[in-house]
Structure 1
């Protein structure tokens, strides 16, 4: 037996066997092969939305919409802040505050809807939008480059024509997606004038034009919102008069799936994202409606290539990657309920290239050992060494992916690698990731749409301590060059370069795509009109009659 942070772990064969046996013992096992992508309970939509209680998996940071780059917090902020564009369930851009737009790779002009107001009644004019976006530029939000490219940016407003124009000096193909309501583009939610005045507290208050206003928030417990009586102009015509739209929304912090399942069954929760082994029993409960979706980003196992790190060695990265089987990982962590991919994108992302799978190794511990031997690594009393020094890897992960970290550590220990594992609560994991405080980590993120541009910035450019969003810690000038060329283009014209990008990730053994888990959103007494990811948005929830 081996131990990681005091926890007994087993081999991948044992881990996967436990999952398979557990599924076989259930009364009607459900697998991705025979389950639908969603279910709606047959009932009319209620005239009034009443109140809804929604699970929030983790605590939030603070309410600074333009600078808090964390998806759990942004899920809350979307209730109070409205973006210029939104997305439908497929990722297609649709109007929100803007009724239309025209975009190129370096310029986008929005025509605003008329008679839209902030929660305090202030009209949302082009100048209000310009001031909000300009503030995001001024505070140098770390996600500006993810949403809009490198810039610099110029923003102008024409109140007479009802338009706002945003220009970037560096062409950025997916520019339009940087103004939508999917994280991190949700950070562009318009901050109304009251929120930009001296003395405004964006960390604890919300100053938006979205459908809800903040009632109260208690860290570690809950956040409550109230529907604005005057809201209009939402995506697909949603207003405060839309039938079934919840009038009061309470997010309850429930960290564990098991507790969330019990609360969903007993009425303590109305809507909850559920994962892991708890999914199958809920799929069999015909009183629940649900949606199933994935993000566009495939979680990779990423290797910090900073000078001095053991994972700066390409041969070691190749061996560590070869020892891991993504399908076994997906089976152990998500019971197979995930999309696996040879690249960091799911198949519905524009320019996804399945042919890069030819560069991936066949998972094998023995093959990994040969890579190490050929590169001059040796074993000393069962411990892997290079030039007499033991090989120690700092594996930093978050505890929502158990038992994945245990499987990875087990595989690498079979190579003789000493693994120091930090399996942390999510917020602690994020803090260390932003500090590049690891040798190897999962990069959990998402793209604001079915496009490569934003997700590519998680693996290129400066690392977070140097002002960038390269969470992976990839140091590859060739990759950076390919990415810069690809991201300056729009649409299919960029695909040849994005193929080169996907291939280079393998050629440099920079990371191993593990999977994009299915995200299940279950509801009782409510219908979820659309969902993508692990958070429910009340604007897409409708109360059922009866």
Structure 2
């Protein structure tokens, strides 16, 4: 895990891998329309468009239009072909045979060397890629055989998800392979669209490639809109107004405006997973939450079901694991493993740990008050503010002083990585593979590594080491158990699977892992 990944984690308080599969979307209204323009709202500027630097949801949402991956996933999570037509998996490597006839947006063929150059560039320390160790496993190397049409990705030792990890790797082709600076505000990929205009903080315009015929599940560009505009709309209320008025064809809503959009006539809508609502305890040497008794007591003081309802505005679902759907390992790693709500037991545990209740109503130990600085991002809607206030009230009843610290994204990143100025942080992390979480949940702590909460769960590390060496299917029980032991130790506390409203007007589309699936976009004619 590289340092840049730590900063990127907090950039929007989440990570999301864009995948080329599909999820069930809103029912189609009217007949498909040919040509035309599809306009989709994104909440922030995507920044640099080089896929080697793309770790945030908003960036991958834009990149997915122009870039393909080697493989995709279907609704059930099964791996299906995309750029690669077949593959041979071994414990330490996977060899892909590429489809013939695939071309880059500049007309050049997509070759195995293109794929190898992408992987090796990201793995090069000089690239300082934030996706190395996340979307591209640490230690991965690539070797191409252009004559045979194959590329082999290898690891220094067996790795569970060596095949599955490639569904998150966007492949740059053409001139962008050798000149990465050329794709900072442009695209050079084999995807169904090519960027034609970039106006930072306003909009990004893409034109369709009608020759595109190698999408997942045989998808082509035949019925796609001629133009896609990714419009930067930071305010959800504004996005709702534009969608209802018909100036937008698609948007995803997390906040209160989803109710108004749902009630609007002519809008197709679907509730989709928006990732985990969860919080972490700082376990640095000088923190009271380094003590597992304190972490368990603080967790027991909370009614997590009520907290989840508050954080999600009543639209959430019970959380069953740390990774996004469709999960490679099906099962519930949460139920029965999180300390249950018991305020009396929480108070007794703090007493036993030496934190005694004083006349002022607060607990102290060795003359030091039990005080927590609770940090959360302010861009995720009013639910997070309300959840923070609920937690502060519950902990105050327990005799804990809580200082709420709502901060903008850049300040959140700084506090997580540099100043370490927090004790509890609400921080969703959205990734499709459990192996991609390891650097955040173990290993070197911030600022030297991505382990921002200074976690040191030996059992988790042992299970990860065992799981990593097994084929994916065999490894799943251990991956699930590795999550459970984190919850049992209250290293992090899963609260709710939040949802968002995916809404369209005059168009239908699908999303996967929070990103738009470009081959699913259809403009519609009437009702």
Aligned to 1:273: 252
The answer for the alignment partner of 1:147 in structure 2 is: 135
Supply the distance in 1 between the matched residues of 2:471 and 2:236 (Cα, whole angstroms): 40
Report the equivalent of 2:492. 511
How much has 1:346 moved relative to structure 2?
A: 7.0
Matched, 1:251 2:214: no
**How many pairs were matched up?**
495
User: Which residue of 60, 63, 66 corresponds with 1:80?
Assistant: 66
The residue number in structure 2 matching 1:136 is 122
2:404 & 2:188 partners in 1: Cα distance? 41
- Secondary structure of 2:188's counterpart equals coil
1:398 partnered with 2:377 = yes
Q: 1:68 matched to which residue of 2?
A: 54
Who is 1:234 aligned against?
215
In structure 1, what is the Cα distance between the partners aligned to 2:323 and 2:122? 28
1:117 correspondence with 2:125? no
CA distance in 2, matches of 1:336, 1:116: 46
Aligned to 1:458: 440
Judging changes above 3 Å, is the alpha-carbon distance between structure 1 residues 92 and 312 closer, same or farther for their aligned structure 2 residues? same
Name the CA distance, whole Å, in 2 between partners of 1:228 and 1:269: 22
Q: Tell me if structure 1 keeps the 8 A contact 2:193–2:208.
A: yes
Instruction: Say which SS state the counterpart of residue 294 (structure 1) adopts.
Output: strand
Q: Which residue of 1 aligns with 2:390?
A: 407
Distance in 2 separating the partners of 1:531 and 1:342: 21
Structure 2 residue aligned with 1:338: 316
Aligned: 1:445 with 2:446: no
Shift of 1:65: 1.3
Separation in 1 of the partners of 2:227 and 2:200? 19
Pick aligned residue for 2:307 from 320, 329, 351: 329
Q: Following the alignment from structure 1 to structure 2, what is the Cα–Cα distance between the partners of residues 259 and 61? A: 21
Identify if the C-alpha distance between structure 1 residues 443 and 486 changes in structure 2 by more than 3 Å, giving closer, same or farther. Answer: farther
* Separation (CA, whole Å) in 1 of partners of 2:72 and 2:392: 41
The answer on whether the counterparts of 2:54 and 2:130 sit within 8 Å (CA) in structure 1 is no
For 1:45, what is the secondary structure of its paired residue? Answer: strand
The question of whether the paired residues in 2 share the 8 Å contact of 1:148 and 1:172 is answered with no
Cα distance change of structure 1 residues 288 and 518 upon mapping to structure 2, 3 Å threshold:
same
The offset of 1:166, in angstroms, is 0.5
The question of whether the paired residues in 2 share the 8 Å contact of 1:46 and 1:543 is answered with: yes
What CA distance in whole angstroms lies between the structure 2 residues aligned with 1:272 and 1:161? Answer: 43
* Residue 541 of structure 1 pairs with residue 521 of structure 2: yes
Residues 244, 267 of structure 2: 8 Å contact kept: no
Conservation of the 8 A alpha-carbon contact between 1:365 and 1:414:
no
Please give the secondary structure, in 2, of the residue aligned with 1:144.
coil
**How many angstroms apart in 1 are the aligned matches of 2:331 and 2:212?**
43
Change in Cα spacing, 1:298 to 1:475, as seen in structure 2 (3 Å) is same
The verdict on how the C-alpha distance between 1:149 and 1:293 changes in structure 2, with shifts beyond 3 A counting, is: same
Against the structure 1 CA distance between its residues 344 and 126, is the aligned structure 2 distance closer, same or farther, given a 3 Å change threshold?
A: closer
Match in the other structure for 1:474: 455
* Superposition deviation, residue 523 in structure 1: 0.3
How has the CA–CA distance of structure 1 residues 64 and 392 changed in structure 2, closer, same or farther, with 3 Å as cutoff?
farther
Paired with 1:268 and 1:206, the residues of 2 have a C-alpha distance of: 26
Three-state SS of the structure 2 residue aligned to 1:338 is: coil
Cα distance, 1:303 vs structure 2: 1.4
**Structure 1 residue 417 corresponds to structure 2 residue 400:** yes
The CA distance in 2 between the partners of 1:410 and 1:273, in whole Å, is 32
Match of 2:15 in 1: none
Give the Cα separation in 2 of the matches to 1:201 and 1:326. Answer: 48
Asked if 1:43 is matched to 2:26, the reply is: no
Contact 1:249–1:538 (Cα < 8 Å) also in 2 = no
Give, in angstroms, the shift of residue 167 of structure 1: 0.6
Structure 2 partner of 1:18 = none
Contact 1:41 1:286 survives alignment (8 Å): no
Where 1:406 maps in the other structure, the secondary structure is helix
- Would the alpha carbon gap of residues 102 and 385 (structure 1) be closer, same or farther in structure 2, given more than 3 Å must change? same
Q: Could you say which structure has the greater relative contact order, defined with CA pairs below 8 angstroms and 6 or more residues apart?
A: 2
Do the aligned partners of residues 524 and 164 (structure 1) sit closer, same or farther apart at CA in structure 2, a change above 3 Å counting?
A: same
1:157 aligns with 2:167: no
SS at match of 2:48: coil
Q: Contact conserved, 1:79 with 1:212, CA < 8 A, in 2?
A: yes
- In the TM superposition, residue 464 of structure 1 has moved relative to its aligned partner by 5.0
> What TM-score, normalized to structure 1?
0.83
Task: Call closer, same or farther: CA 1:230–1:429 in 2, change over 3 Å.
Answer: farther
| Structure 2 counterpart of 1:177 | 164
Q: Secondary structure at 2:54's aligned position in 1?
A: coil
SS of structure 2 residue aligned to 1:339: coil
Q: Return the offset for 1:199.
A: 7.4
What CA distance in whole angstroms lies between the structure 2 residues aligned with 1:199 and 1:475? 37
Whole-angstrom CA distance in 1 between matches of 2:372 and 2:184: 37
Residue 430 to residue 239, structure 1, CA distance change in 2 (3 Å): farther
